[in-house]
């Protein structure tokens, strides 16, 4: 469970509601696994008074994992991109090692299933070029390793020849899918976010689909 609050006083009110609910239903929060994260605004520094849950202080952290997605106090996605890069490296090496003697068709199906999932990639919007490029290179190398292709072969060429989406295409499809679902959601907040063209996340999504030719990169 995650509580989001614009102020310390509002957060205390939310925690008080949780405490009353737990007492009324005979439940108990595990304070040792509960954490406090303060989202930063630029270079400003904040002095946060002690926040308690069930009379125990909450530990303040700079990042935490929620539903396998890393959230940081700076709202940057580099940590989560690195999480996906490592996971993709493990999956790619496993496929190349265990299914080396399978047919070409089987390898293509395995790659689509295990290397194109990119969990929560549609939420990535604030990251460095270094982190993004590292994940893109890992994706390309996973495909080369599975098919036994030379390491210096063209990434765009090998994906086109095998009818496989490249890294950028995978991200665009995931973004488009999430955008459609949020616009059609019954949740009012999600619909408002999805329909506001000046929203940072929407601006980023549009930028992924509308690019000039000079921004295209091939490895």
The verdict on 100 and 189 lying in the same domain is yes
43 shares a domain with 139 = no
The per-residue pLDDT for 13 is: 96
Contacts 24+ apart (CB under 8 A), 144-151: 145/92, 145/93, 145/96, 146/92, 146/95, 146/96, 146/99, 146/107, 146/110, 146/111, 147/104, 147/107, 148/100
Whether the CB-CB separation of 194 and 186 falls below 8 Å is answered with no
Number of domains in the chain: 2
Tens of pLDDT, residues 2-11: 999 999 999 9
Same domain, 55 and 108: no
Tell me the angle at which helices 129-147 and 167-183 cross, rounded to the nearest 10 degrees. Answer: 120
Q: Are residues 48 and 84 in the same domain?
A: no
Residues 176 and 201 in one domain: yes
CA atoms within 13 A on the CB side of 57: 6
Instruction: Looking at the structure, tell me whether residues 172 and 121 fall in a common domain.
Output: yes
Determine the pLDDT at residue 215.
Answer: 47
Residue 63: strand pairing partners: 72
- In a domain, residue 71? The reply is no
Please say whether the dihedral angle defined by the alpha carbons of residues 113, 115, 120 and 121, taken in this order, is positive or negative.
negative
Question: What confidence tens digit (pLDDT) does each residue in 75-121 have?
Answer: 999 999 999 999 999 999 999 999 999 999 999 999 999 999 898 99
**50/135 same-domain check:** no
Q: Is residue 1 part of a domain?
A: no
The whole model's pTM is what? Answer: 0.84
Measured CA to CA, the distance from residue 81 to residue 132 in angstroms comes to 7
Structural domain of residue 33, as residue ranges?
A: 8-61
What pLDDT is attached to residue 213? 44
Per-residue pLDDT, 2: 92
Q: Decide if 68 is inside a domain.
A: no
Query: What parts of the chain have a pLDDT lower than 50?
Result: 212-219
Do 40 and 90 lie in one domain? The reply is no
The answer to whether residues 54 and 82 belong to one domain is no
């Amino acid at each position: 469970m995650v509580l989001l609050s614009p102020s310390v006083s509002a957060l205390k009110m939310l925690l008080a509601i949780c405490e009353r609910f737990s007492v009324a239903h005979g439940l108990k929060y595990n304070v040792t696994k509960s954490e406090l994260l303060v989202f930063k605004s630029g270079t400003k520094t904040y002095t946060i008074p002690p926040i308690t849950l069930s009379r125990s202080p909450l530990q303040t952290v700079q990042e935490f994992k929620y539903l396998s997605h890393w959230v940081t106090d700076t709202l940057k996605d580099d940590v989560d991109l690195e999480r996906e890069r490592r996971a993709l490296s493990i999956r790619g090496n496993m496929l190349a090692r265990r299914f080396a003697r399978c047919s070409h068709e089987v390898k293509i199906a395995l790659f689509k299933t295990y290397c194109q999932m990119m969990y929560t990639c549609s939420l990535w919007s604030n990251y460095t070029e270094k982190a993004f490029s590292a994940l893109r290179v890992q994706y390309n190398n996973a495909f080369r390793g599975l098919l036994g292709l030379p390491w210096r072969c063209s990434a765009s060429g090998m994906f086109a020849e095998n009818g496989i989406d490249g890294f950028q295409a995978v991200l665009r499809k995931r973004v488009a899918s999430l955008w459609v679902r949020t616009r059609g959601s019954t949740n009012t907040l999600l619909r408002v976010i999805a329909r506001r063209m000046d929203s940072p996340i929407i601006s980023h999504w549009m930028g992924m689909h509308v690019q000039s030719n000079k921004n295209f990169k091939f490895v």
